[in-house]
Each structure stands twice: as C-alpha cells, then as structure tokens.
Amino acid sequence: MTLTAAARLVERPEASARLRYAIDELDGTIREIRSTIFALQTPAGAPGLRARLVALVESARAQLGFLPALRLDGGLDTRVPGGIGDHLLAVVREGLSNVVRHARATRTTVSVCVEGSRLTLAVEDDGIGIPAQGRRSGLLNLRERAEALGGSCTAGPRPDGGTCLRWSVPLPPPGEACDED
Ligand SMILES: Nc1ncnc2c1ncn2[C@@H]1O[C@H](COP(=O)(O)OP(=O)(O)OP(=O)(O)O)[C@@H](O)[C@H]1O
Ligand SMILES: [Mg+2]
C-alpha cells in the first residue's frame, strides 16, 4: 500500500511504471504464499484441489522458465467434487502446456475461483497471442470437457496482448459437492 501511494507521487512515467511492475510482482508473491499456506492447511490424506493446483503450477516452472502466478479464491476443497477437480487440473495442464509451446510469454497467471455455484479458471499470458483461426486440438478437448459438464470454454486475445483461456462450469449446490464420484 505504501508503494501504491508512492507510485502516485512519482512523476516520471518510466519510474512509476517500474514501481507498478514491482507492486504487481509483490502481489503475485503474496498470493503464492497464501496459496501455499492454504495447501499446507489441507488435512492429511489425499491432497486437496488447492494443493494439487499449487504442485501442478510449480511443476510448470522449469519448462516456462518462470513461476506462474496462482490466484485461488473460494471453497475449492469444499465445493468442487473430485471429478470436476480432475477435469480442472487437466485443463490447467493443457493451458500451461500451450503457454510453454506456443505463447513465448514472460508472465502467466492461473486464476481459479469458486463463486456462487460456478467454478471458473483463467490461464492468462503476455505472449504473442492466439491466431483467430486455425487448427484446434487440445483446446477442442477443453471445450468438450466444459460442455459435458454444462459449462463453456473460450480462448482469445487479451486487451493488453497475450492470450486468455477461460474455462467455466456449474457446481452442485453446497452440501452435495464433495461426495465421492
Ligand atoms: N497461449 C497461447 N498463445 C499463443 N498461441 C496459442 C496459445 N494457446 C494456443 N495457441 C495456438 O492455438 C493453436 C491450437 O491450440 P491447441 O491446444 O488446440 O492445439 P496444440 O497445442 O497445437 O496441439 P495439442 O494441444 O493437441 O498438443 C496452437 O497450435 C497455437 O497456434
Ligand atoms: Mg495444446
């Protein structure tokens, strides 16, 4: 917050852009620490969805050359049934593999959010952007997975450049969610 206030006082645009970049980086680090703490709090036994997401995102670091930022919001371990969690992990894996293989990105953010009765994932990167037309293979599979669950999947350009993959599916009402399936 001190840095955000300072960024407003700095007059040189180049310096304030650098400050803002540093603030974004710090925010990302804070989010990662939070996610890790959540993951560590998951009871012993099979790792929960949060922990599996943290591990998956960390495993992409070597291929990407940088650690993706991870934002986790809402009751991932309480509201998402195992089957949907497995789909979600497969979608994150494909999204990150696309960033590694196609994007030429320097940053990527994986955001997973449970809000109301919806699970939404976004994998964003600052790379070269996705061609409007062209062959779709892994992405087609992601759309089919979403539609089979009554949801949707889109991949398109971000306003500031790069690509955003968005995957969103409905969740069962609270209380029914974590039955084995
Ligand atoms: N994050 C991205 N940045 C830039 N281009 C992308 C990105 N994701 C996908 N693309 C483009 O969209 C195309 C289709 O992606 P899709 O995942 O469907 O297939 P693929 O990755 O080429 O093959 P597969 O997923 O079967 O290994 C890619 O070949 C690539 O050109
Ligand atoms: Mg692919």
pLDDT digits (tens, 9 = 90+) for 18-59: 888 888 888 888 877 877 776 676 666 678 899 999 999 999
Q: Check pLDDT > 80 for residue 129.
A: yes
Distance CA 148, CA 161 (A): 30
- List, in sequence order, the alpha helices (H) in the chain: 2-9, 13-41, 49-59, 61-64, 76-79, 82-98, 138-148
Q: Does any domain span residue 138?
A: yes
Q: Does any domain span residue 142?
A: yes
pLDDT band at 177 (very low <50, low <70, confident <90, very high): low
pLDDT band at 108 (very low <50, low <70, confident <90, very high): very high
Q: What pLDDT, on the 0 to 100 scale, is given for residue 181? A: 45
Provide the pairing of β-strand 152-157 with 118-125.
unpaired
Residue bearing the bigger pLDDT, 102 or 10 = 102
Tokens 């609270």, residue located: 174
Q: Does any domain span residue 155?
A: yes
Query: What range defines the domain where residue 166 resides?
Result: 48-176
Q: Does any domain span residue 8?
A: no
Ligand 1 pocket test target in 130, 141, 158, 166 with most atoms within 8 Å of CB: 130
Q: Does any domain span residue 40?
A: no
pLDDT band at 114 (very low <50, low <70, confident <90, very high): very high
Q: Does any domain span residue 23?
A: no
Mean pLDDT of the region 117-132: 96
Q: Check pLDDT > 90 for residue 128.
A: yes
Q: Which residue in 16, 14, 18, 13 sits closest to 5, CA to CA?
A: 16
Q: Whose CA is nearest to atom 1 of ligand 1?
A: 99
Q: Which residue in 8, 24, 96, 98 sits closest to 55, CA to CA?
A: 96
Q: What is the pTM of this model?
A: 0.80
Q: How far is the CA of 155 from the centre of ligand 1 (A)?
A: 10
Instruction: Provide the domain count of the chain.
Output: 1
Q: Does any domain span residue 144?
A: yes
Q: Does any domain span residue 153?
A: yes
CATH number of the domain within which 117 lies: 3.30.565.10
- CB of 138 within 6 A of ligand 1: the answer is yes
